[in-house]
Structures are given as structure tokens and as C-alpha cells.
Amino acid sequence: MTHARYARPRLITADDKRYRAFVEQFLIQRRNQRAIRPPRQRDIFGGQAEAALRDWLATRFALSERRILEYEERRGKRASIKYRELDALLLEDAQSAWVFEIKASRSAGSLRRALAQLQETRSILRLLYPVVHATILLVDTGIPSAEEVAALMAAPEAPMVAPQTLAETLAALPDIHCISDLTERSSDQAHTDLLRFGVEDIIALVGAEQLALDWAADDELEDSVPPVESGPLYTTTDADHDDEDDNPMASALRRAGLT
């Protein structure tokens, strides 16, 4: 397997001219590629949770407005310019940065994807900042407990594979360092910190009336509404079929308000 090599990174704002031109071209190519269902309540909540936690971080740190990461990816003799949006970024000094990945999910497996995203982002950012701290802010929207998994698997229509609990996933991911406050950030560059939130924490930050919480309607939507031409998605939240939700370019487009 050929490993990607990264070069020429720069941090920019969403109104960067080259970035906007790239986005417009990407949208033209993407428009007719696939139909997208209307946004689910959980998807919308994911975007709301991300915004709430970014605002919360901003009360504690002077977050950078330059959180679009442009870089060159090289594979063999080929090179291409790519972009990814960082959920939140703190530039601590000329040598160190702190990057945040925000996930709202009912699947413990989302931690694997968040960790993989941050590891790649770290590799690119280290070309600019030798020291890069990384933290996952996980909004648990219903990750099953061991008791809930046991009950699910004992049911007549049990899935073929049991969903993982958070404890099982963490046991398999030794690089994740659980913390209860951001002041407990690990100094070990091999670690990625994990700070967990509940839905009630997001409600406390912005109020229930500001959030999409009618998740029971999602099942009805999937059963009764056919795909439509376009609609917003949010990479922060985790769908049961979130193939594109972890695409950094798609993330940048959605958060720029262009899909």
C-alpha cells in the first residue's frame, strides 16, 4: 500500500478565495452523484451539538478562526490539494497547537473514526507545529450499556453482530486517554484525550427548545420518505451508515453552508 505524503499545509479561513473556488467546483461535480435523504433529527442535533461545544470552548480559549486546513497530498507521482475543516483549533504558541474533534453518536465505533481522523490531522499539522495535542469531545446520544446489549441480543430480532459498548471500544484503543476536564490533558503525544458529554449537557448549554430532539421521527422519515436531491448533513453526528460523514472535504462543505 502506498502511504500518503503531506506537504505545504496552511491554515485558512472559510472565505479564502482558493478554498471557495475549490468548494464551488466540488459542488458542481457532486450535485448529480447521489441522492440524499432529508436531514434526520439526529443529524441536525449533531451540528447543533458541535456549535454548542465550540462556543463552550471559546469561553475558555482564544480559538483560531483559521480552522480550514489546506494541504498537498502526494501518492506516488501524483499530488492534489485537499482541505479539511477542524472542529476547533487553539494555537497555543509558535510551536504547539491543540485540535478538537467533536462527535455526537450512539455508536461506540465512532471513536475509532474520530481517532483515525485526528491521527491524520496531527500528521499534517505537525508540519506547521511540532507539538500537536488532540482531544475528542464525544456527545453520547445513546451508546448501549452492557445490560442493553445483552437484552438486545436476547431479543427475537437480534442483529448478527452485537454493538460494542464504550468500555469495550476503549479497551481496544489504548491511545485514548479519558479525562473529566480539559485541565487533565495528557502531555504524551501518543495519546488522544477523550472528554465525554451527555445530551443533557448540551441541553444545559443552549436549551432544549434550540435543539432537534425528536429522534423518534427519524425512523418514520426513513420508512416513508424517498431520497431527495440535496439536504444538509453533519459529520459530527454518527449515522448507522455514515460512510461520507467522516469525509473531511464533505465536512468542510457542509459547515461552510454549501450543501
Tens digit of pLDDT at every position of the chain (259 positions)? 444 689 999 999 999 999 999 888 888 877 766 656 678 899 999 999 999 999 999 999 999 999 999 999 988 888 899 999 999 999 999 999 999 999 999 999 999 999 999 999 999 999 999 999 999 999 999 999 999 999 999 999 999 999 999 999 999 999 999 999 999 999 999 999 999 999 999 999 999 999 999 988 776 655 554 444 333 333 344 443 343 344 554 544 444 444 4
Q: If DSSP codes are grouped into helix, strand and coil, which group holds residue 112? A: helix
Q: If DSSP codes are grouped into helix, strand and coil, which group holds residue 113? A: helix
Query: pTM for this structure?
Result: 0.83
User: What's the grid cell of residue 241?
Assistant: 451508515
Question: Buried (b) or exposed (e) across 104-128, using 16+ Cβ within 10 A?
Answer: bbbbbebbbbbbebbeebbebbeeb
Rounded Cα distance between 252 and 259, Å, is 10
- Give me the sign of the Cα torsion angle 201, 252, 125, 15: negative
